[in-house]
Amino acid sequence: MANEDIARDVRAAVQRWLDGTVAADADLLNGLVTADYTFTHASNGHVDTREEWLESFRNGSRRYHQWVISDESYRVYPGVVTVQGTGHQEMGDPVRKLETHFLCVWVSDAGAWKCSTWQATQYPLA
């Protein structure tokens, strides 16, 4: 498969991941992350394990209203794709806006692309 096709497939997986976070669909997200997945929060650097992260959607403690990414770059390696870009999130009640730079790593796992880590850094709103 050509690198462009792989990047397209990973972009589609990333979009499903983003849609799943906004929908708080823990079942969908469960299928999109690896067993050793970690999520590093942009706002405070706290690292969630896979189970902590999924539970936050199940119990309603994490609520995204919007999460969009842009300016992505995809680097394709055998069985691994890294994605860098910028993100805009709106979350919580009251709604809080967050602008980030992110890096995530996607791995080929049993024929599907799964996210193994998502790490972001907040940058100030203009």
pLDDT of res. 124: 78
* Residue owning tokens 């809080």: 96
What's the pLDDT tens digit per position in 29-73? 999 999 999 999 998 889 999 999 999 999 999 999 999 999 999
What's the pLDDT tens digit per position in 92-121? 889 999 999 999 999 999 999 999 999 999
pLDDT of res. 126: 60
Which structural domain range is residue 106 located in? 3-123
**Number of domains present in the structure of the chain:** 1
| 97: CATH | 3.10.450.50
